[in-house]
Structure formats: C-alpha cells, structure tokens
Amino acid sequence: MRPIDEGAGILRRAAAGAIGAAVVLGLAGCGIFQSAPSLESTKAEALELRSEMAETLPATYLSTATEDYTLIHCESEDVVQFDGVLSVHVPEDFDRSAWLDDAAAMYADRDGWRVEKKVAADGSSDATTAVAFFSDDYYMRLGEFATTPEGGPVIILSASGPCSAQ
C-alpha cells in the first residue's frame, strides 16, 4: 500500500500532464505551432494582386514589361517573403499620377485593405507619385520614375506576401 502523499504526487503529475496537453492544444489552435503558409500559395496570391493592377494598363505597355522577384528571409532560412516586381515602360504623355489615383480608388473601400498615397516629399507637387496598399498579409506598392537609363518613364508594380515556408 502506498502512502497518501505518494498517491497525491501521482495525481498532481497526471493533472500537470493534462494541463500541459490542454495548453499545447490551445496554442496550436491559435497558430503558434502551425507552420507558415507555402511559398507557392503566397507567391501566387501576390502575383494575382499585382496582375489585377497591371491589367488597368494598356496591353501594349505590358508587352515590354520586365519581371523580377526577390525572396527576403524572415525568421529562418526556410521561411521567406516573396516580393515580385514588374517594371512597365510607359509613353511620356501617359498620366502616371491619374493612373496612381485610380489605382488607389480601386482599393479605397475594399475590405481588409488600407491605402496610402504619397506625393513629392519636398512639397513641390501634390501629384501622386506612389501608392502603398496594406492588408493583414499582403503589401503592394505602385510607383513611378520620370526617367530611366533606357529613357522614358517607368511604372513599378510590386507585391509582397507574408512570410512563407520554402
């Protein structure tokens, strides 16, 4: 026969194990133990968002566009953030500020998104020079550059996803 104190110790260990399991399961439900989304899925979503913006430009402009992307490391080597960039040459007479304003208006009332327009930092103009779009997981940037080494104005469309498992 066991002493009463030994039986109480067994019950305490069993209770501690049950509490520990409940905490682990509770945390898993909150996402702490869930893995990051796949890079393929976040990349596809970021590119879809970027394409939505690109489709507001005439197709002739997109025919000469160039794509690039980077993978930015998050908390470990296996977890990265996708950033896809599309550079589009546009004619001198294309109203880049109006296009950026229209893009901002597309997302102004979209659930889950916040829009931030940028103008000349020196206050020399109130024309829109860039627009940033923020959701809980995704980030898009649209910007314009007046001149490039190749000549002519370029619009930059960039979309980033959340940190993802490679």
Q: Model confidence over 25-79: pLDDT tens digits?
A: 333 333 344 467 999 999 999 999 999 999 999 999 998 899 999 999 998 888 9
pTM of the predicted model as reported, rounded to 2 decimal places? 0.72
**88 and 48, same structural domain?**
yes
Domain count, the chain: 2
**61 and 29, same structural domain?**
no
Partners of residue 165 on adjacent β-strands: 38, 79
DSSP state, residue 38: B
The residue range of the domain holding 81 is 39-165
Residue 127's nearest CA partner among 135, 119, 137 is 119
Alpha-carbon dihedral 96, 99, 104, 105, rounded to 10 degrees: 150
The pLDDT tens digits for 116-144 are 988 877 777 778 889 999 999 999 999 87
